[in-house]
Amino acid sequence: MARCLLAKGFSLQVFARRPEAAQTFVDAGAHVAASPAELAQACGIVILSLPDAAAVEQVLFASDGLATALQPGSCVVDTSTIAATPAREFAERLRQRGVWLLDAPVSGGQQGAEAGTLGCMVGGSAAALAACRQVMEAFCKTITHVGASGAGQTVKACNQVAVAGALMGVADAIALAKAQGLDPALMREVLMGGTAKSFPLERHAPRIIGNSFTPGFRARLMRKDLRLALDTARAVGATLPTATVAEQLLDAMCESGRADWDWCAVALEVQRLSGMDIPDTPEPS
């Protein structure tokens, strides 16, 4: 995402909690800030990409955080995937300082980030989004305002639930084909010509069949996202059966040492439950 901004000619300030992570962007022409507060002094729009709500809160509100130096009218675009409740809380705390926060999680994975073709679902002020849209278009193909603060995170949770459900169907189909002695690649080819065609069948199934699990999107991150979705559902009394099963399988995968494999390797857990031998190491991509 940062490289996309540089490629579009934006002047870029960067801060990374691990300083070594920023060096590649310095080499590409970005300026490094020593702290979030220092970055905030130079920027009217700040984009976050962090692993969880605790990290977002620290970068925003620590003693050297963004909130200490952002000027009224500034906007923070948080592309992290966190729960809707903290997203709303952070937005309100910044609003009291005259600063906008957009919860703007993205979908499209590493490939989409590199190509600048991510999809973004945005919660918060429509006016703030209009002010930030040109910057966000450097790394997003589609940007959709979905409602008030927290709505972006809720839609992202829905996205992860739907994607997990679709992959579970593909994983079951591959396991059934293998259990019956069929060529799973031929089975996939047949299904691609009918109503079973889907993104997971098109993109993930060949990797599952070929035992190629270099991420991509890591299993531990998908587990985190599904846990957020399940927590959100429980808070309002909703039940998500497919997401529950997917989270359990991802947990088994992560606890068996595969947390940094691509998450589509969760299909191996389905095969394991069917009594099949599964590989200890993936083939190179």
**Residues with pLDDT less than 50, the chain:** none
> Residue 284: what pLDDT?
59
Of 217, 202, 219, 195, which is closest to residue 269 (Cα–Cα)? 219
> Residue 285: what pLDDT?
54
Angle between helices 151-179 and 84-95 (to 10 degrees): 160
Catalytic residue among 8, 141, 156, 224: 156
* Residue pLDDT, tens place only, 131-175: 999 999 999 999 999 999 999 999 999 999 999 999 999 999 999
> Residue 24: what pLDDT?
86
Structural domains of the chain in order of their starting residue, each with its CATH number:
2-147 (3.40.50.720), 154-273 (1.10.1040.10)
Q: Which amino acid is at 67?
A: A
SS3 207: helix
SS3 226: helix
> Residue 59: what pLDDT?
97
Q: Is 178 an annotated catalytic residue? A: no
Strand partners, 266: none
> Residue 42: what pLDDT?
93
